[in-house]
Every structure is written in C-alpha cells, then in structure tokens.
C-alpha cells in the first residue's frame, strides 16, 4: 500500500517575494505634496468693504517677488509678462476689478510695477488687499 502524503507548499518564499515587492513599491513611489502660497498681508488702519464681482482679476506678489495672476504663477517677473497675462485673462475688458495682494515683506517696487502695468492697460478699479486689525472689529 502506498502511503499518501499531502504535498506541502512552502509559503515562506512567496511571502518574502510579496514583502520585497511591497518595499520596492513603497521606496520607488514619489509622494506629491501640494504646496500653497502663503502671503502675509499688511494690516490697514481703516477698511472699507469692496463688493465682490463674479469675474475679477487677482495679482498676488510673494515675498520673493513672484507674481501670480488668478493663482497661476508667471514664468518671470518682467512687466511684459504681467501685461500679457492681464490682457489674456481680461480679454480687453479693463472695467474688471483688479485686486493686488502683496506679502507684507514683498518689495514695494513689485507692487508699484503691478500697479503701473495695470494702469497702462487702462484698469481703473484697482484695489490693494490688506487684512483688517482684529481689535477694530
């Protein structure tokens, strides 16, 4: 009579391969961290509320002097680049409200450049964004 023994499958090598694959994928995966621009706005002594429009333009200036028009970073900080971005987004409508938000530590020249470009394009509804003093509210 034949002694029937059940064949045995060694799971150790299979587990080792799965763990090695897991480690490989964990190491080779790049984790993307979405970064957001943080701007520290200067405080204003007195504030007036500006009505929000459905369509408006925003120019943000970071502490390093980087310009963002409607939350899209520009390739450089030359006035021609800012002018082209404003013309493209406004489609020639200079009646749109334009808000300039600059970091409190941004150079004054960057804000003046943005205002100058907007003024030369014919924008008249230009606002400077600030944060209000919480003690006044």
The pTM of the full predicted model, rounded to 2 decimals, is: 0.58
Whole-angstrom Cα Rg for the chain: 28
* Domain range annotation of the chain: 43-136
Which of the four CATH numbers 3.30.210.10, 3.30.70.1290, 3.30.420.270, 3.30.160.40 does domain 43-136 have?
Answer: 3.30.420.270
| Secondary structure class of 10 (helix, strand, coil) | coil
Per-residue pLDDT tens digits for 49-82: 655 556 888 999 988 889 999 888 888 889 999 9
Residue pair 95/130 in contact by the 8 Å Cβ criterion:
no
Query: What confidence score (pLDDT) does residue 137 get?
Result: 47
């Amino acid at each position: 009579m034949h002694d029937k023994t059940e064949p045995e499958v060694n799971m150790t090598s299979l587990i080792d391969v799965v763990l090695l694959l897991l480690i490989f994928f964990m190491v080779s995966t790049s984790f993307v961290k979405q970064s957001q621009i943080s701007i520290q706005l200067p405080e204003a002594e007195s504030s007036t509320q500006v009505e929000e429009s459905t369509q408006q333009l925003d120019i943000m200036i970071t502490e390093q002097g980087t310009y963002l028009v409607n939350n899209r970073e520009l390739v450089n900080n030359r006035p021609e680049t800012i002018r082209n971005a404003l013309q493209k987004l406004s489609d020639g409508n200079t009646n749109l409200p334009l808000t300039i938000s600059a970091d409190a530590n941004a150079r004054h020249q960057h804000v003046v450049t943005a205002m100058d470009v907007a003024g030369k394009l014919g924008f008249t509804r230009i606002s400077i964004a600030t944060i209000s003093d919480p003690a006044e509210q």
